[in-house]
Structure 1
Amino acid sequence: MFEFPNVSNNSIKNDILSGLTVALALVPEAVAFAFVAGVDPMVGLYAAFMVGLITSIFGGRPGMISGATGAMAVVMVSLVSEHGVQYLFAAVLLAGLLQVLFGIFHLGKFIRMVPHSVMVGFVNGLAIVIFLAQLGQFKVKNAAGEFGWLQGSALYIMLALVLLTMAIIHYLPRLTNAVPSTLVAIVVVTLLVYFVPALDTRTVVDFLRSMSGDENATIAGSLPTFAIPVVPFSLETLYIILPYSLILAAVGLIESLLTLTVVDEMTGTRGRANKECIAQGASNMVNGVFGGMGGCAMIGQSMININSGGRGRLSGITAALGLLAFILFASGLIEVVPLAALVGVMFIVVLGTFEWASFKMMKNVPKKDAFVIVLVSAVTVMTDLAIAVFVGVIVSALVFAWEHAKHIHAISHLDEEKDEKTYSVNGPLFFGSTSNFLELFDIKNDPHHVIVDFAGSRVVDQSAIEAITTLTERYKREGRKVHVRHLSRDCRKLLHKAGVLVEINLMEDPSYKVASDTLA
């Protein structure tokens, strides 16, 4: 799906330089998402530092970057506006606990159930969302306090600097890979704007002050301090925060595990989903008691990191510590970075994230998969990631069930000497195929003994058991007896547990392997 430079997995230099690059890109994102959630910018910056550091050290996917995200920020808006930021901290703390439990009970393996078509829709949708988010940087607040599009020389300078940033990132690797081209582009454009007064363009601090309305706003701050959320410890509080915590935990895990899968494909390695769930949860619990808004994996920053050569845990650790250093010691340096440079970086991320081959793929893949790709992309843009993935998985599952419901059939063989007839069933027997299954049998004309051979089939669910029960009763009313053969061990357990009274031949039963948690 992705093509990236072949970088050594053990390059300390690349990890450090790519981490610093990511730290620069984290600042405006964290500030923007803090404003989306309705909290102070430092709450977003603290979250980016804490989530990024903890998941980089203890997570299951080296090289993946986590921080404050828009997907979680939009969930927080109503909670903050109605009950205040302390309730947000409590909700984030509970959400983290739920994520830890999710990992402890090895539920991360269920990410394998997400079809490839949903994954393609996921990355395409997020690429569009990232692109649309950058368009906001081309707006400026006027005297009336309203945001309008840049015009005239301000727009042309912004576009020129964005294109220059993108050109450096694209062409520099053809000359050298000694340093990340993204970092070089940010530094070059920043120095150009700083030393050429004619290039008057908005910087990070301009963005912060425009969003906050405070002409003295700065990203300078201190270390986060420990404090238990100031909320009543009561069932009423739990009633308020639990719905938000459930949604935050679900959104965070979905985005993190899908990003983990994308990074796996980008690097040709395999992360550990359950370990990542625990690390994400632990980081959010720390956020809840240190004044952060929480967060999860970020596909955009992860792409920047991987594209810049970051492969190990050191890259994420460097990004988090670099962000903290900017807050504590070097706010003046980061505040002069032009927004155009960061927009150019994110545009490159968009181009690298979007699955351009999906346009060609539409002609070659089944129509149902093409539909799912478009559906998930559209829902991601219009609503949010979690809903898009749920919709995509549900639609894919329903299509799968419908297609496999039509595959069940049987080959019959009549043995007149033994007065028996054998039906060799092929195809899965489940809720979608039970009607077709019952129509396979000639109950009125069959001999006294009827053998239903499931060697080529599989009894899947309660609907399948009911279908076998119904078939048995129909034959019984006609004075005939049903024999069921070649059921797998788990299928026999289903029948016995349900109390179905049919004869089962235990000989030559196939052995089915079930996926384990080893790789999760």
Structure 2
Amino acid sequence: MSKFGTGRFEGYTFNHFKKDLLSGTIVGIVAVPLAMSFAIASGVKPEYGIYTAIIAGILIALLGGSKYQIGGPTGAFVPILLGIVLSYGYENLLLAGLMAGIMLVLMGLLKLGALIKYIPRPVTVGFTAGIAVIIFTGQIANFLGLRDIEQHERFIENMKEIGSHLDTTNGYSIVVALICFVVMLATPKVLPKVPGALVGIVVSAVTTALLLNGHVATIGSTYGAIPNKLPEFGYPEITMDKILMLLGPAFVIAMLGGIESLLSAVVADGMTNSKHDSNKELIGQGLANIVTPLFGGIPATGAIARTATNIKSGAVSPMSGIIHGIFVLLTLLVLAPLAVHIPLASLAPVLMMVAWNMSEQKNFAHILKMKSGDSLVLVITFLLTVFTSLTVAVEAGLLLAVILFAKRMSEMLVVAKVLPDHASGGGKVTPQVVNASHDCPQVSIYTVEGPLFFGAAQTFEQSILSSINAKPVVLILRLGKVPFIDTTGEEYLRNILRDFKRRGGSILVTGVQPGLKNIFDQNGITEEIEEQNFYPHTGEAINRSMNCLNRNKCIGCQHFAFRECKELSLTGAKIS
């Protein structure tokens, strides 16, 4: 194959195509059973998962921002999609997916792709582990072959449903599930390059067809035949009432889809030493989710495990993702009639293994062992994901993470009263030399270190007010290690400035960094302090303060805070 295309296909050769053909085929083999499994677990027909893998898989590869991304239905969506299907129905799921696609496109156009780095790790680990628990427990009924199970939106209700139907346990289903599970685990040891899930499903399905026909529920007996034809174009009914009703679910789909796709792209970057375009990835994901529902497909996102498999199999370009979609399409056209013989009990261990692999148990245990604020965020996000909903869990997790972050940042703020340390020789200001007998009554110097924001501003004000109450003549604020100030910090600083000026004192500021100075210029603080009262070094501010002292109060003072104090104590003379 000659070179063609530009950008991600620049320099593409026939050798590259051969690698993409192999990797795309391997991922396609992995994707077929997963697509059906995720669709069934989401409460829809298995072919809808196949349609999603085909259409979204190709579009995400073509339009996304990662060279190696494999898109399709994923386990992370299962509890969300199942909840939407149970509450609103399949038709409204399609509309919610389309709306989520539009939201993702807008997020990409607004350059919000970089925001993924601001989602704390404990939140993502917490809700991922929670989703894994929901997926795992959701397959217990199929594993045991329970009959007449009604799916519910809430975890507790589903557990009660399973408990009340344990008397319908089917031993044949357990045998089939165990066969699939054992084969799935043994395959990588015997045939490392062959997907264990596929072999497990095939072996258990053949066993069922030959020995247990009619004794175990299959895709065909539960959902009917899978049409071996291309999905038909259509569009869901769109009304303003439906749009308003589905705004919440659509936003959750968009947020989770964006998070998972960008996390998958980051994983791909780490494995290949490449760099994805996060905003283009969101746009590609969005366009795929706009088109896919028009052909009956469910919401899709980047699949971390399949993307990793794609890279490990030798993929070099998005062509592997396109080939993966084409392979799934050919499988649908050729092998769909055979898929009806797959037992639901065979899909259960596959999804249980997916849940185990996505649970991030090592990271979960590590964060938990820290016994810190992150541990609290993790546990709350996890529990809320399992027992309420992903929406509530992420909102609560992020809110708690922000509160804990603000608390930590506020604890970083240090406001210390300082004086020159003449014993050190250099005369650097330090807090150690300040004590009851060595502290100038007329000049107060404070070093402020850390951000002056809403969580720390009150501490800053209280520390300075203790000096103002002592009625010094000069207040020197050393702000060289203040990286930023927010509007709350500004307000507290203004209060200090106004109170001190009202008492007739002078305020000098030293070491302000350019970024902070720009903020002061913009919000009028520079004008209140006055430009001539800014100094690059503390020594210059101290020299200026010596000319502001009440000389009469210096006579007889024994604090000797500054070098000039001995002479001032004796004579009260003016120091020039």
Q: Which of 53, 60, 69 is the matching residue for 2:65?
A: 60
Question: Offset of 1:400 from its aligned partner?
Answer: 1.7
2:192 is matched with 177
2:219 is matched with 207
Higher relative CO (Cα under 8 Å, sequence separation at least 6) belongs to 1
SS in 2 for 1:222: coil
Question: Offset of 1:100 from its aligned partner?
Answer: 0.5
Q: Between Structure 1 and Structure 2, whose CA radius of gyration is higher?
A: 2
Paired residues for 1:184-333 under 5 Å? 184-194=199-209, 196-197=210-211, 202=216, 206-207=218-219, 209-210=221-222, 212=223, 217-231=224-238, 238-261=243-266, 270-298=275-303, 313-333=318-338
Residues 52-105 of structure 1 show CA distances to partners (whole Å, capped at 9, x for unaligned) of 221133223424432263244146337744xx82x5544433331221110112
Distance in 2 (CA, whole Å) between partners of 1:343 and 1:306 is 27
Distance in 1 (CA, whole Å) between partners of 2:180 and 2:93 is 36
Residues 367-425 of structure 1 show CA distances to partners (whole Å, capped at 9, x for unaligned) of 22222222222222223434333322221221121122123222334589997443220
Q: Which of 87, 94, 100 is the matching residue for 1:95?
A: 100
**CA distance 1:156–1:52, change in 2 (3 Å):** same
Distance in 1 (CA, whole Å) between partners of 2:460 and 2:493 is 9
Paired residues for 1:89-168 under 5 Å? 89-140=94-145, 142=147, 148-149=165-166, 151=169, 153-168=171-186
Amino acid at match of 1:27: M
1:469 aligned to 2:494?
Answer: yes
SS in 2 for 1:406: helix
Residues 315-364 of structure 1 show CA distances to partners (whole Å, capped at 9, x for unaligned) of 54344333333333321232333444433333333333333334652575
**CA distance 1:155–1:357, change in 2 (3 Å):** same
1:491 is matched with 516
1:30 is matched with 39
CA contact (8 A) 1:23 1:322 kept: no
1:438 aligned to 2:461?
Answer: yes
1:392 aligned to 2:397?
Answer: yes
CA RMSD of aligned residues (A): 3.7
**CA distance 1:220–1:349, change in 2 (3 Å):** same
Question: Offset of 1:107 from its aligned partner?
Answer: 0.5
Amino acid at match of 1:54: L
1:447 aligned to 2:463?
Answer: no
1:502 is matched with 529
SS in 2 for 1:329: helix
CA contact (8 A) 1:255 1:385 kept: no
Residues 111-149 of structure 1 show CA distances to partners (whole Å, capped at 9, x for unaligned) of 101222223324322332331232232254648999845
1:368 is matched with 373
Identity %: 26
Question: Offset of 1:465 from its aligned partner?
Answer: 0.6
1:518 is matched with none
Distance in 2 (CA, whole Å) between partners of 1:431 and 1:144 is 52
Contiguous gaps of at least 5 residues in structure 2: 1-17, 151-160, 421-438, 538-576
Contiguous gaps of at least 5 residues in structure 1: 1-8, 510-520
Distance in 2 (CA, whole Å) between partners of 1:202 and 1:184 is 19
| TM-score (ref. length: structure 2) | 0.72
Distance in 1 (CA, whole Å) between partners of 2:112 and 2:271 is 24
SS in 2 for 1:330: helix
Question: Offset of 1:274 from its aligned partner?
Answer: 1.7
1:424 is matched with 447
Matched residue pairs, number?
481
Question: Offset of 1:466 from its aligned partner?
Answer: 0.6
Amino acid at match of 1:280: Q
1:77 aligned to 2:85?
Answer: yes
Paired residues for 1:347-358 under 5 Å? 347-358=352-363
Amino acid at match of 1:73: L
SS in 1 for 2:397: helix
CA contact (8 A) 1:34 1:44 kept: no
2:571 is matched with none
